[in-house]
Structure 1
Amino acid sequence: MRSKSGFAPYLALITAVFQIVLSQGASYGQRAFRAPLDPWAYALLLVGPLMIALHRRYPVPTAVVTFVATFLYIGGGYPYGGVFIAPVVMLFQLVGRGRRPAAWILAGMSLAAFIAYAWMTRQPQRGLFHDLAVSSFILLTMAAAELARIARERRAQQQRAAEEESRRQASEERLVMAQELHDVLAHNISLIHVQASTALHLIDDHPEQARTALATIKAASKEVLGEMRSVLDVLREGAPRSPTAGLDRLDELIGRSGLEVELERTGSRPLPTSVERAAYRIVQESLTNAARHAPGSAVTVRLDYGEHELAIRVSDTGATGPAVLSGSGSGNGIPGMRERAAALGGSLVAGPAGTGFQVEALLPLPEETTP
């Protein structure tokens, strides 16, 4: 897009053409009572356009020179008309660039000078109507300049608001990506650690079971790389704007968890992407906690698809062996799950249940629409 400074020469050229052409027409129509155009008149007509070309660098001095040239032109007895274009342009530019006091002072001086000139030189058009016409023209010009300024400032404010909203959305997306990365890494690295410890424990006495643990490590490492790539792809132009984890991948998640998991579903219905993603991550984090703190336990994952909410319950029966990672972890698992549920207007409760542990979440759902 062309800059404002690059447009100034074109505006100056347009102003020069219109001032000269309109002044020549005015000279023909006012030849009975105004002096014909001569080289001095043409020189004065070109001063204003020249000042417009230099206005951005010297706003007030160029405006003053333009009005002085206009006064000299009118005082020389040359025709009215086109000579007023450059002063009008100058007033608009002064107001638009924040030099409003200078613009109003020049407008007031012009009003006084034109009215005084008409009476002092006994112009035939002098009188109350002439004074009101000059006053109206200058006031309308200033009003239009102020309205243009207000419209420009409003557009700039709207643009700033849009940019701020864009930055806010980008920040929220970065927070979502950070949370996704935390959940992906926490789950898969914990799983890899548990399975590696199991493999080391079994490799001498039960090599076939160790082979199974190593296969799980291989699958988990491949999964974490794939999910990290999926999350980081949102940074690329044209990539999906949300991670793809959903409840359709629960069987895969359970299969590589290394736990004895029973999945129960009550009902079924399409879910919003945000609910799908939150439900998947809650189940994932719950399985991660079970693998960390309750190895060997039986885990039950239950999903109840209600009319107004999705109920998630993940419970385990308690550890049957030492917790491999009981002293590890960031401690952000349960708070992170609560944040996901709360972000959707839901709730999450986690705590001991009998000999084990239970996580229960309620995620609100929109009403189903019937065709």
Structure 2
Amino acid sequence: MQDRVASVIKQSDALLLAIEDAETGQRGFLLTGDEKYLQPYFEGKRVAARAVGDLIDSVHTLSQFAALRAIQRDMRDKLDELDQTVRLEREGHHEEALAIVRSDAGKESMDRLRSGIGRFVADCEARRSTALTDSRRRVQATEYAFIALLLGVAGLLAFTASMQAKAYKGVIRGTKRMSRDALRDSLTGLPNRRDLARRLEKLRADDGTAQQPVTALFIDLDGFKAINDKLGHAVGDALLRAVSESLKRVTRLGDLVARVGGDEFVVIAPGLASPSVIEKLCERLMAEIRVLASSYGGVGLSIGVATQSGAGFVAEELLQKADNAMYVAKRSGGGYHFDAGLNSCSRS
């Protein structure tokens, strides 16, 4: 039961990540007109279709099946919106494509999709918790039955109780491990997008955060696709792990570093006092990554920076502004770019 629930949660995360990758590719294509951004777009669509099919095959209750059908409808709405904008851009109707993006129809379907997947995962986790509780009750009932027979078979009962305790501890350890794995990127060990959202919510609710700004750096690894294609996925994976370690070395102890996509990372840094301090952080990040060029070839960073007041900051809005700023930096050939809410600053 627990293994099946863990698999369902993993497939749910894969579905959401695939849709987000497809959207990232669509945005890159609309912003640049470069067909190379359509590779993650088509790959995201393919993975999403497979993930939702796997999910439908893996559930056994009518309520879960109905929830997945609703998720599938929202997924189709979102993919239809992406397909339409890509088709219009390819036909040269750039402004019509942008008008669809600005209409927020895609955002609404994406919000419904995230909400539906969140509810579906929460239901799966609740079922897993109920199964664990039932398992514990059965273990306790068995122990009580054996205690009643303790006078007659004391030696046998001691052995049996010991084995049951070990089995139960194994279940607990396995459950905790699966819960941790659901919040971690399996390649780099960094928090994934789901854990990033959870931690941002905790940060927003922290009274100490209200007294200081919160800065988001949305980071795209330039040159990764060429390295991955030329040298192979094993080298690409090694590069992503090396970049993860580099980001952790440069950031402070209280900062959060997460991997949110194939070659995309996010750094959340509370309490950076001024744009000049943020610039120094960006410079250190880029210098650290440049060191990797000797081992992996041409690799760099495009960094988008956005800051909000800690008092009631909106996580999705903060990340979206940083994401938009990152695309400006990328179109400029890399480096970093500040959102308009900060004192305007760019460097390639």
TM-score range, shorter chain: under 0.3
Q: TM-score, normalised by structure 2?
A: 0.24
Report which of the two has the higher share of helix: 2
